[in-house]
């Protein structure tokens, strides 16, 4: 919410300085304005009632929540690192693929000929290990 929208909900609003206003407090019967409003440089809004009402009472009277006093923050997706899988799961998957490679290497060392299905699975393991390496290096 902007400070302008908040001020539109209040009565007898008067500017007292740059980014500062005073108005009647909506949570108690005010003869004279007692609610101080200030907008900070980062667009946060501060409220103080000299009549003693809490911010929660003031916002309740305006049917607002605390988040109304804070500007919405845009989400900077470029700064957020996205990790789709927990590291432990990735390491376990790599260990499983390494086991496939080790079994195939052991079979070849003993002179066992790999079947077409075994060769296909070995190539899948190699592709998965390479994909993990590529992602870890930030390659796209």
Instruction: Convert the pLDDT of each residue in 31-58 to its tens digit.
Output: 899 999 999 998 999 999 999 999 999 9
Q: Does residue 11 lie in a domain region? A: yes
Q: Does residue 74 lie in a domain region? A: no
Q: Does residue 46 lie in a domain region? A: yes
| Same domain assignment for residues 64 and 95 | no
| Same domain assignment for residues 18 and 63 | yes
| Same domain assignment for residues 65 and 93 | no
The tens digit of pLDDT for each residue in 79-135 reads 666 667 788 888 899 999 999 999 999 999 999 999 999 999 999 999 999 988 887
Tokens linked to 26: 């909506």
| Same domain assignment for residues 35 and 64 | yes
Residue 61 CA, chain-centre distance (Å), reads 30
Cα dihedral: 34, 40, 43, 46 (round 10)? -30
| Same domain assignment for residues 16 and 54 | yes
Instruction: Say which residue the tokens 């799961």 belong to.
Output: 89
| Same domain assignment for residues 17 and 61 | yes
Q: Does residue 16 lie in a domain region? A: yes
Instruction: Output 3 or 82, whichever has higher pLDDT.
Output: 3
**What is the average pLDDT across 57-82?**
82
What pTM did the predictor assign?
0.53
Residues 96, 52: Cα–Cα separation, whole Å: 66
User: Which residue range forms the structural domain that includes residue 105?
Assistant: 87-136
Q: Does residue 115 lie in a domain region? A: yes
| Same domain assignment for residues 61 and 35 | yes
Q: Does residue 113 lie in a domain region? A: yes
Q: Does residue 75 lie in a domain region? A: no
pLDDT score recorded for residue 76: 67
Residue 27, CB-side half-sphere exposure with 13 Å CA sphere = 19
Of 69, 97, 119, the one marking the end of a domain is: 69
């Amino acid at each position: 919410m902007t400070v302008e929208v908040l001020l539109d909900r209040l009565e007898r609003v008067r500017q007292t300085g740059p980014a500062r206003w005073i108005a009647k407090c909506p949570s108690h019967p005010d003869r004279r304005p007692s609610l101080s409003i200030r907008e900070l440089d980062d667009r946060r809004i501060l409220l103080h009632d000299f009549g003693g009402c809490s911010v929660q009472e003031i916002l309740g009277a305006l049917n607002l929540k605390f988040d109304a006093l804070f500007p919405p923050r845009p989400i900077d997706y470029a700064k957020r690192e996205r990790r789709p899988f927990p590291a432990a799961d990735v390491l376990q998957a790599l260990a499983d693929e390494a086991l496939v490679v080790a079994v195939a290497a052991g079979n070849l060392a003993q002179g066992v000929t790999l079947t077409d299905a075994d060769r296909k699975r070995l190539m899948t393991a190699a592709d998965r290990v390479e994909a993990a390496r590529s992602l870890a290096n930030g390659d796209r």
